[in-house]
Chain A
Amino acid sequence: MENSPVRNKDWTLTQESFDQLLGWLDPDREISGRKYEGIRTRLIKLFACRGCAESEDLADECINRVAKKLPQIVNTYEGDPALYFYGVARHIHQEYLRRPAPAPEPIPQTDEESEHEYECLNKCLEELPPDSRNLVLQYYHEEKKAKIDHRKEMALRLGIAVNALRIRAYRIRATLQGCVHACLERKQFERI
């Protein structure tokens, strides 16, 4: 906490201000929470893309600052709220750059961890529906020049565009990665 590069120490997010923020994002109660999650995810990605190791902290700080400022702008601001968050995020990034932050040390994976990850991948692949498993294995299978032709042929066979295939393969891979991640966590917990 003490290493947090940009923290507004005088103000914390209260229940009331958080509710007001949700209400500003959308008057429809069905979608305001979803919008909040979406903006938070995007802010994390944005800070990560700008090379910030503490991207989640910075995203939360950004949300806090917008919530703090909200009573002053809520009646006058026009346009997509996401873009207001963007303006604040840029400002926070500038502050972040002015403060020296320690570079994260990459943690090398031990042989045992690699082995566990491989086992988990095997297990997670088995859990996938056969169509998804075949698709993801085939899509990422070919190498070099053959890859482009191979993917075109796959798309043709499935009757979809190459870009649609790319998205489908990515989603299965993301599911697989999530499954492997959860599996590794379970293994960690089994040891305690």
Chain B
Amino acid sequence: MLVPERPNKKLNETEDTLAIKEYLLGRLALTKQEEVEQRLLADDSYLENVLIAEDELIDEYLGNKLSAQERDSFRRHFLSTPERGEKLRFAQTFRKYLESNSSLDSLGESKADQSPSWFQSLKFSLRASNMATAFSLAAALLFAVFAGLLFIRDRNLQRQLEELRTENTNSTKASDSQTDKEAQQRLALESQRNAQLNADLQRAQQQRQQLEADLARLEKEKERQTPGGSISGRSFMTPVLALGGVRSETSALREVSIPKGTGVVSIPFRVDDDKYQRYRASLITDSGQTIQTRNNLKPREINGQRVVVFTVPAGAISPGEFQLRLIGATRDGRSEPIGSYYFRAVKQ
């Protein structure tokens, strides 16, 4: 029996999307706003929904698909943070790219290739559009196979029983003792086969359980090894790093030793110039990969030094050379590159 949960789910998804859009525009009623925010904080997948809705809202704005009121809310409310301004600029550039590379042919796929095959359609209908149907069909198929096997086995047993009865009746007069002996032998053979089948089944179940346990262990290990994902509970503050000129190729690389069991690493670095109100810092590996960027970092005093503290999960730092690239934001909102702080991370 099918449960009609898919339409409801779709309805909920649409309601969610609409609520998030209104929330992003600052137009949601307070009670609804609190519902959205509580989910934003407590529900892992909800943040991604909000981020997707941000992109879609920007696209709608650029494509002139918002109403006059929505456009007004978009400009006044949505664009109130620098990060969203950056997202908007990126979307404009991306749009420009798509417009100037508008031919789908350039993507290397003809229209004919794009038509889904009957197998893809079937696979899709099973996998994507209705998971409940897919599970029901799979369960029904398994049940049918099982029922079929049981039916065949039952028929075989019945036939054997009939044969035994017939033989028994026909040969009562001839040799009762001989028939009994044969029947007992057959029954013993059948029982032996059953025992063997049961043992095989049990062994298969044990193997499956072992495989499942191995899989769970491997997944856990993989999760631990994911960059940025391996974090323990304690925090650790490194010594203050100094810029030492614009770039520090000439000076020896500062070694930063991170104790075992560290969850979060705080890296303070000295900023002498008070020209900047805010800083943006990016932690970059020696191969040029950006691990983390922090915006709006503010300078503070530590032991009489003006420093900015950059915080990063310890799991994101593997032993090797790093640079902290620093950009300052002036009072008029312009950003200026300042320099890089170089260090070598060592794990204890």
Footprint of B on A, CB under 8 Å? 1, 3-4, 15, 18-19, 22-23, 26-34, 36-39, 41-43, 45-46, 48-57, 80, 82-83, 85-86, 103-107, 109, 114, 117-118, 121-122, 125, 134, 137-138, 140-141, 143, 153, 155-157, 159-161, 163-164, 166-167, 170, 173-174, 176-178, 180-182, 185-186, 188-189, 191-192
Q: Which of B108-142 contact A (CB under 8 A)?
A: 108-109, 114-116, 120-121, 123-124, 127-129
Question: A57: nearest residue on chain B (CB-CB)?
Answer: B296
Tell me if B164 is interfacial: C-beta within 8 Å of chain A.
no
Q: Which of B152-160, B172-180, B199-207, B228-236 contacts A (4 or more CB under 8 A)?
A: B228-236
**B37, B59, B282: most-surrounded residue (chain A CB, <10 A):** B37
Bound Cα distance from A50 to B294, whole angstroms: 20
In the complex, which residues 87-115 of chain B have their Cβ closer than 8 Å to any Cβ of chain A?
87, 89-90, 93-94, 96-98, 101-102, 104, 107-109, 114-115
A180 — which chain B residues lie within 8 A by C-beta?
A: 90, 93
Q: Is the CB of A30 within 8 A of B230?
A: yes
Q: Does B193 sit at the interface, judged by CB under 8 A? A: no
CA distance A117 to B96 in the complex (A): 11
Answer whether residue B80 sits at the interface, using C-beta atoms and an 8 A cutoff: yes
- Which B residues touch A51, using CB under 8 A? 26, 77, 80
Minimal Cβ-Cβ distance residue in B for A180: B90
Task: State A125–B87 Cα separation when bound (angstroms).
Answer: 17
* CB atoms of B120 and A22 under 8 A apart: no
Contacts of A141 in B (CB 8 A): 98, 102, 104
Extra inter-chain contacts (18) besides given A15-B235, A57-B298, CB under 8 Å: A29-B232, A33-B314, A39-B41, A42-B40, A45-B40, A45-B47, A53-B82, A55-B81, A86-B38, A121-B94, A134-B107, A140-B98, A157-B114, A170-B48, A170-B55, A178-B290, A186-B288, A192-B337
B84 is an interface residue with CB less than 8 A from chain A: yes
Give chain A residues whose Cβ lies under 8 Å from the Cβ of B24.
49
Tell me the complex Cα distance, A125–B337, Å.
25
Q: Which residues of A contact B264 (CB under 8 A)?
A: 18, 22, 33, 36
13 A-B residue pairs with Cβ-Cβ distance under 8 Å, sorted by A, are A18-B264, A29-B233, A34-B315, A36-B264, A45-B50, A46-B37, A46-B40, A49-B24, A49-B50, A105-B332, A140-B94, A178-B290, A186-B288
Interface of B with A (CB < 8 Å)? 13, 23-24, 26, 37-38, 40-42, 44, 47-48, 50-52, 55, 59, 63, 77, 79-87, 89-90, 93-94, 96-98, 101-102, 104, 107-109, 114-116, 120-121, 123-124, 127-129, 224, 229-235, 237, 246, 261, 263-264, 277, 282, 288, 290, 293-296, 298-300, 313-315, 325, 327, 332-335, 337, 339-340
